[in-house]
């Protein structure tokens, strides 16, 4: 996955030209930010629950190997079959082998970011299996043959009109309407038929509880419940970091998750899946499989600082509050996980060679850090990855791959000048004299002056003024 | 450090003297803001020392991933602030770099303790004026409507949120109108503005629109990076709004 290097600058430039897209994102994110603020209006409560949420995730990560073993043992005891995949290819192969054993032709899917990471739909299609997204947003994106642009609201980049056109174009029985209720109803009718005939249901996992072997799944539309109970086989896919220790760890995390994500105090459905259908039960699948994916995560886990990335509960609040994401939208990141968390997760999972540009898609304003419900030091990790990108090492895949001789020379020259008072004062005095003569067409200055006036060097530096005014030096 | 990652400064006694760290942007582009900052401190009867050997907090290299180069420049600053006096910085960003990131930058280095000691004495200017000097300003200027742009690092690293606005509100003839998106980044981000000029332009465009909507005659900020970006965009778009550093604005209003 992600063999080729992405071009964030080019993709974001295209996004910025699209006024409709920019408007859609600005409006949607403004709405989400203000609604979330209402949910956490009580600062003391926010600080309390946030500290609790962070501690749940930290505790889980501090004993991750042990908890994963416990999870496997308890799931197995409950009749859930556990599979381990170190790469996305392995995870795909596991899913396929289960499908082939039950001769599956149609899969319905609940929302799962790990399955996006696996590019599972494309993989299944290649093997002649139809895979249908049943989350409304994912369904829309799938009809549009696009990627999700947000981890919680996959089709947030589109407005009603665009969706109305898409439905008319792609769904046979569709009449053109911009009525949201009618559009939703149409999708529901298409999906209902598929739920009834699907051979396998696939879902993600919001949290897996080690002590009980329970898979916890949060959703609003009921499609997750349908996907996990109607087809005879249910396959859940999760990243190995999604485990929590105890059942009592679940409520605080859900409370933070739903309020941070969509500003809902709670979602419509919280599914706690603990076993396949037992004798005498009226519904539920005959088989449940849990595929636990590594895909670079154990490498991230091994580094104490980078490990904090794995705290993430996938609420998407960092995107909603990121001024860069808000401008360019999710597709510009060309990754299953966009925005701030994607910018630190993707380079660690796929390597800095191809994803090294993402940690620079950030002004380091810290809005994401301020909002993260589990206190991930996103910007610190961003800085660490920027540093890894230019220094050869083995902590992150592809470390050193972005070291450019020219850039290194610039910073070496900068540090030599700025570390020597004499050189610094000579250079700044020279800039004060001659700096303003620099033509606006110079490379870096040209980009700056496209929308801004040229910065004006003062005639005399602060050092010079302070000397002239007799401000004591020591 | 507090639970949300910002620094909480324990209150200190009013000192006789302070060091002033001018920052490289102030040095080259806004020396009058630096002078105004020092004047405000002197006005309060505090002796101000400006070490001529100082240059830069090292943030540009640090944020670009060049930590070795950043360390070299940060280390060069340590010699110039030998006393125990507070170090006052007219920039939330540089103050944040010194007080929050220097301890990380120097981790494991032989001079780590010394760097941490210097870092612990760093104050953002408005924070120092309000919390330590407890200044009271008397407005001597004509009526004017202004707005305030909160710099990201001042608010989210230094925990400076109310101080600058509290100072502006002391000015009787100044009407302070808040931006709709006061806390949103202006798109400067140091090297971000040149690495991603189009996104940066879109961000500062939103900021300028927000400023214009307030009908303010001036946008006041405590960071020269933001100021260079925002007032550059205001000027570039021929908007009749002036960008001004808070130190300079306060000095203008209180000195007539």
A67 within 8 A of A245, measured Cβ to Cβ: yes
Query: What residues of chain A lie within 8 A of the CB of B32, using their CB?
Result: 458
**Cross-chain residue pair B236–A449, CB shorter than 8 Å:** yes
Distance from CA of B206 to the nearest CA of A (A): 10
Mean pLDDT of A396-424: 95
Rounded to whole angstroms, the Cα distance separating A116 from A96 reads 15
For residue B62, the tally of other CB atoms under 10 A from its CB is: 24
* Beta pairing, strands A106-109 & A200-203: parallel
**Cross-chain residue pair B51–A466, CB shorter than 8 Å:** no
Measured CA distances, B183 to A121, A128, B52 (Å)? 40, 50, 34
Residue keyed to tokens 């998106």: B181
Residues 6+ apart with CB under 8 A from A222: A268, A269
Mean pLDDT of B93-99: 97
SS3 content of chain A, % helix, strand, coil (to 5): 55, 10, 35
Residue A1 pLDDT greater than 60, yes or no: no
Query: What residues of chain A lie within 8 A of the CB of B68, using their CB?
Result: 415
- Residue A310: DSSP 8-state: G
Within chain B, what is the greatest distance between any pair of CA atoms?
54
At residue B181, φ and ψ (nearest 5 deg) are -120, 60
Q: Across-strand partners of A273?
A: A215
Residue keyed to tokens 């910073």: A411
List, for residues B18-54, the tens digit of each pLDDT value: 999 999 999 999 999 999 999 999 999 999 999 999 9
Residue B10 pLDDT greater than 90, yes or no: no
**Cross-chain residue pair B228–A455, CB shorter than 8 Å:** yes
Query: What residues of chain A lie within 8 A of the CB of B182, using their CB?
Result: none
Query: What residues of chain A lie within 8 A of the CB of B67, using their CB?
Result: 387
List, for residues A188-231, the tens digit of each pLDDT value: 999 999 999 999 999 999 999 999 999 999 999 999 999 999 99
Band of pLDDT at residue A4, cut at 50, 70 and 90? low
**Cross-chain residue pair A428–B201, CB shorter than 8 Å:** no
Distance from the first to the final alpha carbon of chain A: 59
Query: What residues of chain B lie within 8 A of the CB of A361, using their CB?
Result: 196
List, for residues B160-187, the tens digit of each pLDDT value: 999 999 999 999 999 999 999 999 999 9
Shortest CA distance to A178 belongs to which of A163, A193, A191, A190?
A163
For A443, nearest residue in chain B (alpha carbons): B194
Mean pLDDT of A45-51: 96
Out of A389, A453, A463, the one facing B232 most closely (by C-beta) is A453
Rounded to whole angstroms, the Cα distance separating A344 from A334 reads 14
Query: What residues of chain A lie within 8 A of the CB of B49, using their CB?
Result: 471-474
Residue keyed to tokens 């090292």: B58
Measured CA distances, A166 to B22, B208, B252 (Å)? 57, 36, 59
Distance from CA of A75 to the nearest CA of B (A): 36
Average pLDDT, chain B: 95
CA dihedral (A346, A349, A350, A354) positive or negative: positive
Band of pLDDT at residue B4, cut at 50, 70 and 90? low
Query: What residues of chain A lie within 8 A of the CB of B198, using their CB?
Result: 9, 12-13, 16
Cα B194 from chain centroid? Answer: 21
List, for residues B187-215, the tens digit of each pLDDT value: 999 989 999 999 999 999 999 999 999 99
Query: What residues of chain A lie within 8 A of the CB of B104, using their CB?
Result: 380
**Cross-chain residue pair A432–B197, CB shorter than 8 Å:** no
**Cross-chain residue pair A366–B156, CB shorter than 8 Å:** yes
List, for residues A106-133, the tens digit of each pLDDT value: 999 999 999 999 999 999 999 999 999 9
Query: DSSP characters for A398-411?
Result: TTTTT--HHHHHHH
Best of A409, A452, A458, A461 to disrupt the B interface (most B CBs within 10 Å) is A452
Query: What residues of chain A lie within 8 A of the CB of B72, using their CB?
Result: 415-416, 419
**Cross-chain residue pair A462–B195, CB shorter than 8 Å:** no
**Cross-chain residue pair A362–B50, CB shorter than 8 Å:** no
Residue B2 pLDDT greater than 50, yes or no: no
For residue B254, the tally of other CB atoms under 10 A from its CB is: 19
Q: Answer left, alpha or beta for residue A193, where phi above 0 means left and psi between -120 and 50 means alpha.
A: alpha
**Cross-chain residue pair A386–B64, CB shorter than 8 Å:** yes
Best of A33, A322, A323 to disrupt the B interface (most B CBs within 10 Å) is A323
Query: What residues of chain A lie within 8 A of the CB of B27, using their CB?
Result: 428, 461-463
Question: Residue A73 in 3-state DSSP?
Answer: helix
For A51, nearest residue in chain B (alpha carbons): B3
Residue keyed to tokens 């660490």: A384
List, for residues A334-379, the tens digit of each pLDDT value: 999 999 999 999 999 999 999 999 999 999 999 999 999 999 999 9
**Structure-token pair, residue B183:** 């806390």
pLDDT computed for residue A173 by the predictor: 87
**Cross-chain residue pair A365–B152, CB shorter than 8 Å:** yes
Residue B1 pLDDT greater than 80, yes or no: no
pLDDT computed for residue A3 by the predictor: 47
Shortest CA distance to A87 belongs to which of A344, A352, A354, A349?
A349
**Cross-chain residue pair B192–A362, CB shorter than 8 Å:** yes
Query: What residues of chain A lie within 8 A of the CB of B206, using their CB?
Result: 26, 327
ipTM for the predicted complex: 0.96
Residue A2 pLDDT greater than 60, yes or no: no
Out of A362, A389, A421, the one facing B52 most closely (by C-beta) is A421
**Cross-chain residue pair B28–A432, CB shorter than 8 Å:** yes
Tallying the residues shown for chain B, one arrives at: 256
List, for residues A25-41, the tens digit of each pLDDT value: 999 999 999 999 999 99
What are the DSSP E strand ranges found in A197-317?
200-203, 207-209, 214-219, 233-239, 243-244, 269-273, 287-293
* Rg from Cα positions in chain A: 25
Rounded to whole angstroms, the Cα distance separating B53 from A473 reads 9
Contacts 24+ apart (CB under 8 A), A94-98: A94/A289, A94/A291, A95/A120, A95/A124, A95/A202, A95/A235, A95/A237, A95/A291, A96/A123, A96/A124, A96/A127, A96/A129, A98/A200, A98/A233, A98/A235, A98/A289
**Structure-token pair, residue B158:** 């230094």
**Cross-chain residue pair B3–A420, CB shorter than 8 Å:** no
Band of pLDDT at residue A395, cut at 50, 70 and 90? confident
What are the DSSP E strand ranges found in B113-199?
122-124, 144-149, 174-177
B136 within 8 A of B129, measured Cβ to Cβ: no
Out of B26, B65, B152, the one facing A462 most closely (by C-beta) is B26
**Cross-chain residue pair B34–A444, CB shorter than 8 Å:** no
For A52, nearest residue in chain B (alpha carbons): B3
pLDDT computed for residue A48 by the predictor: 96
Distance from CA of B170 to the nearest CA of A (A): 27
Query: DSSP characters for A356-368?
Result: TTGGGS-----HH
Mean pLDDT of A261-281: 95
For B158, nearest residue in chain A (alpha carbons): A366
Out of B28, B66, B198, the one facing A428 most closely (by C-beta) is B28
Out of B72, B185, B190, the one facing A419 most closely (by C-beta) is B72
Quote the pTM value.
Answer: 0.95
Cα A16–Cα A20–Cα A24 angle in degrees, nearest 5: 95
* Beta pairing, strands B17-20 & B47-49: parallel
């Amino acid at each position: 996955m992600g063999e080729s290097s992405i071009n964030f600058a080019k993709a974001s430039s295209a996004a910025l030209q699209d006024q409709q897209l920019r408007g859609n994102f600005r409006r949607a994110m403004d709405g989400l930010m203000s609604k979330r603020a209402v949910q956490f209006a009580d600062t003391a409560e926010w600080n309390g629950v946030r500290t609790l949420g962070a501690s749940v995730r930290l505790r889980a990560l501090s004993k991750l190997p042990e908890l994963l073993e416990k999870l496997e043992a308890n799931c197995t005891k409950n009749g859930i079959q556990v599979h381990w995949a170190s790469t996305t290819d392995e995870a795909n192969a596991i899913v396929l082998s289960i499908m082939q054993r039950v001769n599956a032709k149609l899969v319905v899917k609940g929302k799962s970011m790990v399955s996006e990471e696996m590019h599972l739909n494309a993989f299944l299609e290649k093997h002649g299996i139809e895979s249908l997204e049943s989350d409304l947003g994912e369904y829309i994106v799938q009809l549009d043959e696009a990627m999700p642009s947000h981890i919680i609201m996959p089709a947030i980049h589109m407005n009603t009109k665009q969706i109305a056109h898409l439905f008319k174009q792609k769904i046979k029985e569709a009449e053109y309407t911009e009525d949201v209720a009618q559009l939703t109803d149409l999708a529901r009718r298409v999906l209902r038929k598929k739920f009834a005939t699907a051979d396998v249901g696939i879902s993600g996992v919001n949290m897996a509880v080690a002590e009980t072997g329970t898979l916890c799944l949060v959703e609003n539309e009921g499609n997750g419940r349908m996907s996990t109970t109607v087809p005879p086989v249910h396959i859940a896919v999760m990243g190995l970091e999604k485990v929590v220790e105890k059942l009592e760890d679940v409520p605080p995390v859900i409370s933070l998750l739903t309020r941070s994500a969509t500003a809902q105090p709670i979602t419509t459905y919280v599914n706690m899946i603990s076993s396949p259908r037992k004798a005498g039960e009226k519904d539920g699948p005959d088989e449940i499989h849990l595929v636990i994916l590594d895909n670079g995560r154990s490498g991230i886990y091994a580094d104490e600082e980078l490990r904090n990335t794995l705290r993430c509960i996938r609420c998407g609040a960092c995107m909603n509050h990121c001024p860069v994401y808000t401008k360019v939208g999710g597709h510009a990141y060309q990754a299953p996980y966009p925005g701030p968390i994607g910018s630190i997760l993707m380079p660690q999972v796929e390597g800095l060679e191809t994803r090294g540009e993402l940690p620079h898609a950030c002004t380091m304003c810290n809005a994401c850090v301020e909002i993260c419900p589990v206190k991930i030091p996103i910007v610190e990790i961003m800085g660490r990855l920027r540093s890894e990108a230019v220094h050869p090492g083995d902590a992150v895949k592809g470390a050193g791959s972005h070291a450019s001789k020219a850039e290194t020379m610039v910073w070496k020259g900068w540090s030599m000048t700025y570390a020597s008072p004499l050189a610094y004062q000579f250079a700044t005095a020279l800039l004060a004299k001659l700096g303003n003569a620099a033509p606006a067409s110079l490379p870096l200055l040209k980009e700056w002056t496209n929308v801004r006036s040229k910065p004006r060097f003062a005639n005399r530096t602060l050092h010079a003024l302070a000397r002239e005014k007799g401000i004591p030096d020591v | 450090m507090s639970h949300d990652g910002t620094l909480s400064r324990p209150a200190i006694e009013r000192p006789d003297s302070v060091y002033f760290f001018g920052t490289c942007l102030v040095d080259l582009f806004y020396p009058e803001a630096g002078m105004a900052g020092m004047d405000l401190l002197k006005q309060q009867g505090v002796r101000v020392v400006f070490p001529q050997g100082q240059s830069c907090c090292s943030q540009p290299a640090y944020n670009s991933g060049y930590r070795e180069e950043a360390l070299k420049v940060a280390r060069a600053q340590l010699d110039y602030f030998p006393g125990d006096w507070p170090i006052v910085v007219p920039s939330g960003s540089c103050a944040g770099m010194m007080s929050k990131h220097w301890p990380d930058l120097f981790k494991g280095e032989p001079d780590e303790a010394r760097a941490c000691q210097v870092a612990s004495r760093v104050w953002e200017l408005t924070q120092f004026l309000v919390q330590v000097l407890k200044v009271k300003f008397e407005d001597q200027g004509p009526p004017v409507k202004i707005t305030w742009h909160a710099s990201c690092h001042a608010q989210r690293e230094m925990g400076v949120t109310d101080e600058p606005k509290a100072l502006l509100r002391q000015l009787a003839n100044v009407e302070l109108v808040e931006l709709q998106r006061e806390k949103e980044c202006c798109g400067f981000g140091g090297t971000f503005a040149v690495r991603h000029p189009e996104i940066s332009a879109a961000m500062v465009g939103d900021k300028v629109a927000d400023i214009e909507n307030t009908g303010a005659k001036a946008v006041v900020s405590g960071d020269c990076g933001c100021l260079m970006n925002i007032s550059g965009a205001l000027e570039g778009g021929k908007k009749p709004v002036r960008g001004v550093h808070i130190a300079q604005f306060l000095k203008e209003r209180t000195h007539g």
